[in-house]
Chains A and B, each alone.
Chain A
């Protein structure tokens, strides 16, 4: 660390050194990236503690790759500052950062064998030549590729190529591992296997990792923390359970999970307990906007309700213990084995359609199309956001 960087790191932590003596592994401050007038990333700020696994989740084009490329050093932020282990890195070129990256298209070297690919960063970073073969072997073993060391890249399967890319990014013991949707091209089974593999390796080496994906399931499965991005802005940073249960806004609520959107008007508000007047009638819900934006009776609002939080029961039979209960007609039934997916609609109101995931562990009942049913949920699960 240079003297200047040390001074700067000391400076920024001076006021509350007693409270937070640990320098975050990655610190992103007010970072923006503007391409010909268009902001691909705007006002991005977050800290990531050492050894954590962060996933940046967002739809295609939301600026995930751009953010990652700035951390890796391929692009310089238009504004803001990025620090790795307390050291500002904006002026540091990629080859002088200690950051390993696995690319969307892997970017392996096709003219080299698997072992040569893994040895490449060691050679470039001037490791002791006598130490290189043993270290390459160790990292190829880590990704279970020992027997394939001398294969060329095109002689390996897609999953094996993934493993070479991971070993190559890790072998020089970087401070930080970046993953730019390297699993997107794999079939589902292999992808889920590799997700757990990333998780295992990350825990084994305890390396700070930032993973980028548009796959919400992957984000929930592998991460310690999740950042949800949309149109270049960070919408929420939270652990996976909070991101799922306590979405910060309607976008996060709809992007993670299968979520019904119910438009309506607030007819009552007591603290964060609100009542939303919907086409189904008044529904009990919970106010989800951040503190400082309190609900106003009469304002237009949107309720977000996850498909698996809705209970379905034949009409007339009442499921006790639920805060809200409405009546609807089944218009579509999809039997998926482990669950049944219903589309239920208020008769003659196509905008008032709810998707319901049901697995009836007791009755094994499947409601037929056309049946009138009662749908119920708890106040906690209908999260209401203001429309502005």
Chain B
């Protein structure tokens, strides 16, 4: 039989890459090759640089008080804003609310995300896995603000939830505009992030390891506790860090579901910049938020390692 050359021996995608390489050689001759890595890093360096510059600007602004007569920031540097931030009970209340909320939301999200991620990774049925994955991505297409408004409709005094409760002769209850409504909305918003961070860590645990735990005498509860949780730790740390930082700095959910009475730090910062136009105070709160957030993340790093965020594969 004559040997017919196989089409897949030189696939179309290689030809496309060949063309791209030829094009790149024209634009960027080979003798500049040493510059290529820097060129590719340039956007990242630019972004981080801009962030550093604006952080510096904010730190500078936080050291100037607002002159109530001229509505201009003062010329001289002073720590007055920080003194005010620490002495005003509202700031402390907002700070503690954000921090406590972030910790509670992180805990609740991790607890809810685990069974979802586990089911998604371990189900033997490909159809189920796809369904779970699609259900996970759907909320991403809807966006945070629209989703929060959805909750307003569902949970409002005339909403679906109260109607159903009404059928049972209960309520109506005031389900919105309180701390728990904000936490609920945040957990619901964070769940997909946590599942997506957890799933790779869980799929890295071979099924054989769980079977082994079973044959060694562990029922499923003890298998989870002694084997799956410890082995999934990097996933929990990674997911926890993402949820914690996103929650701590969240704006839309506390604003919409809190109804103005349940502000988080980001809402307070917004008010200072755009309502009272006290840039100095807004900058001060921003600096404090960055400090608290980095301390928290640093603490987690020190205690548990960077988890999947360390990008180091399977380390000790």
Contact = CB atoms under 8 A, between A and B. Distances in A.
Interface of A: 69, 72-74, 93-95, 97, 99-101, 103-105, 107-111, 120-121, 124-125, 152, 154, 168-169, 172
Contacts of A169: 215-216
Contact of A120 (B211, B216, B314): B216
Given A109-B227, A110-B314, A111-B230, A95 B219 contact: yes
A107 B209 contact: yes
A324 to B, nearest CB: 38
A72 B214 CA distance: 10
Contact of B215 (A95, A111, A154): A95
Contacts of B233: 111
Contact of A97 (B212, B213, B215): B215
Nearest to B231: A111
Contact of B217 (A69, A103, A124): A124
Interface in B213-243: 213-219, 222, 226-227, 230-231, 233
Nearest to B219: A95
B208 interface: yes
Given A110-B314, A168-B216, A172-B216, A124 B211 contact: no
B43 interface: no
Contact of A104 (B208, B214, B226, B227): B208
Contacts of B226: 120, 124
Contacts of B314: 110, 154
B214 A172 contact: no
B217 A172 contact: yes
Contact of A95 (B214, B227, B230, B316): B214
A94 B209 contact: no
A144 to B, nearest CB: 21
A356 to B, nearest CB: 33
B206 interface: yes
A103 B211 contact: yes
Contact of A107 (B212, B219, B222): B212
Contacts of A108: 209, 212
A120 B227 CA distance: 10
A101 B219 CA distance: 16
A51 to B, nearest CB: 21
B215 A94 contact: yes
A169 B212 CA distance: 9
Interface residues of B, number: 20
B217 A125 contact: yes
14 contacts: A73-B215, A94-B215, A95-B218, A97-B215, A101-B212, A103-B212, A107-B212, A109-B231, A111-B231, A124-B213, A124-B217, A124-B226, A168-B216, A172-B217
A386 B231 CA distance: 55
Given A95-B216, A97-B215, A120-B218, 17 more contacts: A73-B214, A95-B215, A95-B217, A95-B218, A95-B219, A107-B206, A107-B209, A107-B211, A111-B230, A111-B231, A120-B216, A121-B216, A124-B216, A124-B218, A124-B226, A125-B217, A169-B215
Contacts of B231: 109-111
Contacts of B230: 111
A317 B14 CA distance: 63
A113 B222 CA distance: 18
Most buried by B among A103, A107, A120: A107
A101 B217 contact: no
A172 B218 CA distance: 13
B218 A101 contact: no
Given A111-B230, A168-B216, A172-B216, A124 B208 contact: no
Contacts of B214: 73-74, 93-95
Nearest to B223: A95
Contacts of A101: 212, 215
B187 to A, nearest CB: 28
A171 to B, nearest CB: 9
Contacts of A172: 216-217
Most chain A CB atoms below 10 A, which of B211, B219, B314, B316:
B211
B221 to A, nearest CB: 11
A341 to B, nearest CB: 31
A185 to B, nearest CB: 13
Nearest to B218: A124
Contacts of B316: 152, 154
Contacts of A93: 214, 219
Contact of B208 (A97, A99, A107, A110): A107
Contacts of B212: 101, 103, 107-108
Contacts of A72: 211, 215
B217 A121 contact: yes
A68 to B, nearest CB: 11
Interface string B251-267: 00000000000000000
Contacts of A107: 206, 208-209, 211-212
A73 B226 CA distance: 21
Top 7 closest pairs, chain A to chain B, by CB: A124-B217, A121-B216, A107-B212, A125-B217, A107-B208, A94-B214, A124-B218
